[in-house]
Each structure stands twice: as C-alpha cells, then as structure tokens.
Chain A
Amino acid sequence: DAGVIQSPRHEVTEMGQEVTLRCKPISGHDYLFWYRQTMMRGLELLIYFNNNVPIDDSGMPEDRFSAKMPNASFSTLKIQPSEPRDSAVYFCASSLGPGLAVEQFFGPGTRLTVL
C-alpha cells in the first residue's frame, strides 16, 4: 500500500487566496483526521471523519476553514481566505476501525506558507 497520500507537499500563496489541501487515505480505512502542526501550538486535531461523515470539527479554528470527504478515498481541507497565521504543516491521517488503541497512519504533510 502506498500509505496516506497528501498533495501538494509544499504550497506558497499570498494572503487572501484560497488554498485547497488534498488527502487520499489508506484503502479500507474508515477514519480520516486532519491535523495542523505549528511551533507554537504543536500538533492539533482540526477535524475527523468516520465513513465520510464529519464527527468532530471542534478543532477547526474559524469559518475560513472547511473540510469535506466526498468519498472514501478523498478528502480536502480548504482555507478561504488564507492569512499568514495559517502558515503551518497540515497532516492527514487515517485509521481502520474505531478504538482508542487504533494506530493512526500519517501522510507526509503539506507545508503551507501564506505570505
């Protein structure tokens, strides 16, 4: 298996522009997570899906952020409009089944820079 795939790996954009980050989970995994990593706040969970349905979006910072999962093999995280404070590494992760012990498999991340 190719693992969790994220694109792009790097994104540089200007303030005010729309940014779309993409994720393909591991085939068969039914949970998908979006995380943001910054020096100041560490690794934070933004939102997660179960069987394509958003379960908890309490970590989404504000209305400028939205996430969708139209099918089991694809998810997007959109920021519109983007701001310099959104600069971070965004990770997508997926897991198989529910459970506290279940390992989450992470993608390589997208480094976003908003100028």
Chain B
Amino acid sequence: AQTVTQSQPEMSVQEAETVTLSCTYDTSESNYYLFWYKQPPSRQMILVIRQEAYKQQNATENRFSVNFQKAAKSFSLKISDSQLGDTAMYFCAVSGGSNYKLTFGKGTLLTVNP
C-alpha cells in the first residue's frame, strides 16, 4: 500500500517570495515516481513536476523545484518568485508497483498575496 501525507492544509506567501510545500510518503515499492499536481480554482489538475525515485538529482521546472530525500521519504516542492497565478491546491502523489496507480495526498491550499 502507498500513502502520501501533506501536513500543511493551507499556506500563504507574498508575491515574488519563495515558498516550500511539504510532502512525506510511504511505499513498499523499490521503483516509484513522485509527482506534484496543481489544481487552480478552475478545478483542472495540472502536472507541475515529477521525480524518479532512483535519481538522486532533484527535478526542476522553471520556478518549481523539489527537494527529494529518499531515506526520509520526503518530497517537498519549492516555488520561487511566486506569482498570483500560482494560487491553487497542490497535491503530492506517488506512483509505484505494477499497477501504475497514483496515490494522492490531501493537498495544500496555497494563496499568493499581492
């Protein structure tokens, strides 16, 4: 079984500042992937970034980067130079095993203030 825990139900940040969203996970699989999805008020789920568990190098996508600590089973998302359009619910997810199922955390609501 896989579990994902996001301990911060809500966060806020000022525009142009940096914010880090936390995520811890548990899986018995040796091969798995981790994802961050964004859900803005439009409700559309959008992939932000993904990380391969066997890669030590942290993934980056423009202003978004992750801090992947495999031993600690931690996968945090850092958003640099926050923009108003980053206001959304952010979901951490893990995919592992032969069934390719995604298991999501409960989400963190991020508000970027002007």
Give chain A nearest CB distance to B48 CB in angstroms: 11
Within 8 Å CB of A106, what residues of B?
A: 44-46
Chain B interface size band reads: 20 to 34
* Number of inter-chain CB pairs below 8 Å: 48
Q: Is A48 an interface residue (CB 8 A)?
A: yes
Q: Are B100 and A108 in contact (CB under 8 A)?
A: no
The stretch that binds A, out of B16-24, B78-86, B101-109, is B101-109
Q: Are B44 and A104 in contact (CB under 8 A)?
A: no
> Per DSSP, are chain A's interface residues mostly helix, strand or loop, or mixed?
strand
CB-contacts of A33-60 with B (<8 A): 33, 42-45, 48, 55-56
Q: Is B8 an interface residue (CB 8 A)?
A: no
State the B residues within 8 Å of A (CB): 31-33, 42-47, 50, 52, 91, 95-96, 99-107
Q: Is A2 an interface residue (CB 8 A)?
A: no
Bound-state CA distance A4–B92 (Å) is 21
Q: Are A108 and B105 in contact (CB under 8 A)?
A: no
Within 8 Å CB of B42, what residues of A?
A: 108
Which of B32, B43, B44 makes the CB contact (< 8 A) with A100?
Answer: B32
Bound-state CA distance A91–B91 (Å) is 15
Within 8 Å CB of B32, what residues of A?
A: 100
Within 8 Å CB of A98, what residues of B?
A: 100
Within 8 Å CB of B101, what residues of A?
A: 45, 48, 56
Q: Are A43 and B104 in contact (CB under 8 A)?
A: yes
